[in-house]
Amino acid sequence: MRSLVSVLAALAAPAVLMTAPPVSAQPPPPPPGGECNYPNCTPGIQPNVVLGSYCANTTYYVFGVTDWGRLVFCGSPRRYEPRWFRAPEMHGVKNQGDLCPALDGQVAQAPDGLFLTCIAKDNRSYWERGDASVGGGNPPPQ
């Protein structure tokens, strides 16, 4: 009888381990009013996006996530129909014109949903519009 109990306990242990909830690789969202530096605290990210499929808006709330968790953005290279592309590293919610040292080419979203990218110009890096309608933009006032 003792060996039967041991066998049942050994079989039940892996089932408990397999049903444990997955651990998130992303940090938790910031408290209300706190700074947002990650995609998981950025509002308006569209779920269930299919990489490479057509999308509509390349200016506001352009970020989405695939069903396997890949962050994507709606872009229109060379003025073709907008499609979902793999997103560069995303840094949450930032203000247009704020400095972004060492983040050149990375992306964020403004509080109003505007797509931002970090550009380097005139010996400084700052958040500027990332949509195709702006050809690099003008640097913000100093």
Residue 10 maps to a domain = no
pLDDT score at 133: 46
Write out the residue range of the structural domain in which residue 74 sits.
Answer: 37-129
Pick from 70, 80, 104: nearest CA to 130: 104
**Total of domains in the chain:** 1
Specify if 28 maps to a domain.
Answer: no
The answer to whether residue 88 is domain-embedded is yes
Does the residue 112 lie in any domain? Answer: yes
Answer whether residue 110 is part of any domain: yes
> Given this model, what pLDDT does residue 33 score?
65
- The answer to the question of residue 2 being in a domain is no
User: Which pTM value belongs to this model?
Assistant: 0.71
Q: How far is CA 100 from CA 21, 28, 64, 91, 94, in A?
A: 36, 22, 23, 10, 9
Q: Which two tokens stand for residue 18?
A: 């397999």
Inside any domain, residue 124: yes
DSSP string for residues in 50-93:
PTTSB-S-SSBS-EEEETTS-EEEEE-GGG---EEEE---EEEE
The predicted pLDDT at position 77 comes to 81
**Residue 19, in any domain of the structure:** no
Mean pLDDT within 57-68: 96
Higher pLDDT, 77 or 135: 77
Percent of the chain with pLDDT over 90: 64
More confident residue, 125 or 23: 125
CA angle centred on 116, ends 138 and 64, rounded to 5°: 155
pLDDT digit string (tens) for 75-103? 988 778 999 999 999 999 999 999 999 99
